[in-house]
Structure formats: C-alpha cells, structure tokens
Structure 1
Amino acid sequence: MANDKYFIYPKDVSAFGFDWGKLSLTVGPEVNGASRFSGGVVELPSGEGHSRHNHPGAEEIIFVISGEGEQMVEDENGNPITRRVATGCTIYVPESRFHSTKNTGGGPMLLFVVYSPAGPETTLRDFPDFRLLPQGS
C-alpha cells in the first residue's frame, strides 16, 4: 500500500546488527523520504552497549522506551557526564558531542533515537562489526 511509509514497525525494516545490539531505522530518507531527520529503535541486550562515539554535524535525541542503563554525554568542555537512565527518560546529545549508552538492567533496553539532520546512521555501515539483518530479525 502507498501509505505504508507513514506507519512503520521495527519488524517491517531490515536492521543494522552489531556485536552490542541492533538499530532498526523506521524513519529517514531511505525508509520513507524524511529529509530533515532520521531515527529508529535501538535494542541493547543486558550488559551490552555502544562505545563512546559522536555524530559530526548532527544532534541526537535518545528516548528510553524500556529498560535501564548508564548514559554518558560530554558537556561543552568535553567533560563526560554520566547518569543512570530508565524508562521515560529523554537524553539530548548536542551536535558532535561524544556519548555512550550501556544497558545495566536484567532485560533488553529499548531506545528510540532521532538524528538531525538525517545521515549519521549511514556511517554505522562502516563499523567493523556491522551486518545487515533481514526484515523481521
């Protein structure tokens, strides 16, 4: 159906798989033509997380759908600020700032992430542990 691009579940798209978890892009230029931002659902198994990284030229919003973990975001002086985060927390990552997330809970941690402008997610394909997971994985 033509309007399926407006209503997307993570199971409806292929996912970016990594040793630390996966990202299912549910909005963005490649998915539904969104041009000013991109985003999707990140799943982190218990004890896993992504290492410190940044997105040059882009801001990020991270919303904790479920689970709990530890989030680090650098301040304007490059000092790391680390906080415990849990279901319902929104994390703002300013443009080009380094950040990391680790699931410290007993079950999966689900996050919804938004990048503005769209594009930072495409560089994830260059990571050595990247693999494209088929739809429904």
Structure 2
Amino acid sequence: MRAPEKGHGGGRFVEKNKYFIYPQDVSAFGFDWGKLSLTVAPEVNGSSRFSGGVVELPCGEGHSRHNHPGAEEIIFVISGEGEQMVEDENGNPMTRRVASGCTIYIPESRFHSTKNTGGGPMLLFVVYSPVGPELALRDLPDFRLLPQGL
C-alpha cells in the first residue's frame, strides 16, 4: 500500500498518471482575471474529442465576453457564486445568477462571460468540445504559464 502523497490532501492515495489528475498536477494558464488548469487535454492525457479543466476566479473577477468558434462548452460551478451571460440564438444576452451545482451549456460559437460576484473564490469545471478552444487563450495579452503546483 502507498502512503498518502503530500499536497493532495491527507488520506488520499495518489498515483500520478493520465487518468487521475488534480489541478496542481499540471501547469496552469494564468490571466489577470484568474487561472485555468487543464486537467483533460491532448498534452495532458491524450484526449482527442474534448478538453477541460478547473477555472479559479478570485472575488470580483471574471472573464469578458468571448466565444469559441466551432466549439461547445459546458461550465459546472463547483463552488462560489456569480453572474453568467450566454447569448441566445438571436444574439441577445441572457444573464443569470449561478451558484455551486449549476451547469451552464454554451452552444457552438455562442458569446458568453462569467463574473464572480460572491464573497470568496469561484471554482468552475469547464469542458470544450472539440479540443482546441483553450489553445487560443495562449494568445491573450495577459496570458502567462504558471508552473505546476501554483
């Protein structure tokens, strides 16, 4: 039996591989508004049909209106609360309060934005299909690659 690995919480037995990945196991995309730790991606575990990871938004922060041409997105609110905007099929913005447990579906190429309006950090799990939209994030002016563990 293996001993619990430090840094992943006491009592959890962790064998690092491509199937069981914690956000701190990968480098992250850092931005002025927060960070994205890709835990599912071709370069992480060979996924080919979708990618995804954990987004951390500090209090009061969020990502501005944008879209992912040719891709759908799922956002699941792990913790925290905020405002989510998704454009409808006519391009009209729909903004709703979202909190832990909410799943948001972003249709292909649809504009959307998220803002943390709560009193603490907001954690999201995002999924992109097909793989690729996350790569465009590297071209943003405030992008920086954060080392594993931060």
Q: Assess same fold via TM > 0.5.
A: yes
Counterpart of 1:69 in structure 2 is 82
Query: 1:89 and 1:3, CA in 2 relative to 1: closer, same or farther beyond 3 A?
Result: same
Counterpart of 2:11 in structure 1 is none
Letter in 2 for 1:66: S
Question: Which structure shows the higher strand fraction?
Answer: 1
Instruction: Please give the root-mean-square deviation of Cα atoms over the aligned residues, in Å.
Output: 1.0
Counterpart of 1:34 in structure 2 is 47
Counterpart of 1:89 in structure 2 is 102
Q: Does 1:128 align with 2:141?
A: yes
Query: Percent identity among equivalent residues?
Result: 89
1:102 to 87, 104, 115: 115
Letter in 1 for 2:133: P
Q: Distance in 2 between matches of 1:95 and 1:88?
A: 22
By how many angstroms is 1:3 displaced? 6.9
TM-score normalized by structure 1?
Answer: 0.98
1:56 to 58, 69, 78: 69
Q: Does 1:9 align with 2:22?
A: yes
Question: Which structure shows the higher helix fraction?
Answer: 1
Structure with greater Cα Rg: 2
Q: Distance in 2 between matches of 1:113 and 1:3?
A: 22
Unaligned runs of 5+ in 1: none
Q: Distance in 1 between matches of 2:16 and 2:48?
A: 17
Letter in 2 for 1:134: P
Q: Which has the higher contact order (CA 8 A, sep 6+)?
A: 1
Q: Distance in 1 between matches of 2:117 and 2:51?
A: 26
Task: Give the secondary-structure state (helix, strand or coil) at the position aligned to 1:4.
Answer: coil
Aligned length: 136
Runs of 4+ in 1 over 4 A off after TM superposition: none
Unaligned runs of 5+ in 2: 1-14
